[in-house]
Amino acid sequence: MNNRRISKKDIENDLIQIFEKYPKSLEKAISISFNLILDCFVAMFGEKKTIKVLEEAKKSIRNGKHTQKQRQTRKTTKRSQK
């Protein structure tokens, strides 16, 4: 194992590779992964904190942060040169 910092992108890429390995059972692979992650949360943080995390996740979904609808890209303004 190397000593470089782990990034969100690294984890995402590894997880996507797992899902790509089982294209005919994608829903089951995601379900198994989710359950495994829940087990890890409970083992690391306990049931009460895991429940709090899940409550926050529910709020995040309700607030539209995780939606099936396509999002509009954010418009950026050009910065003037100094």
Helix axes 26-45, 8-21, angle to 10 degrees: 140
Contact 53, 38 (CB under 8 A): no
pLDDT at 68: 76
User: Do you know the residue count of the chain?
Assistant: 82
pLDDT in tens, 5-64: 889 999 999 999 999 999 999 999 999 999 999 999 999 999 999 999 999 999 999 998
Contact 33, 15 (CB under 8 A): yes
Vertex 57, ends 53 and 60: CA angle to 5°? 140
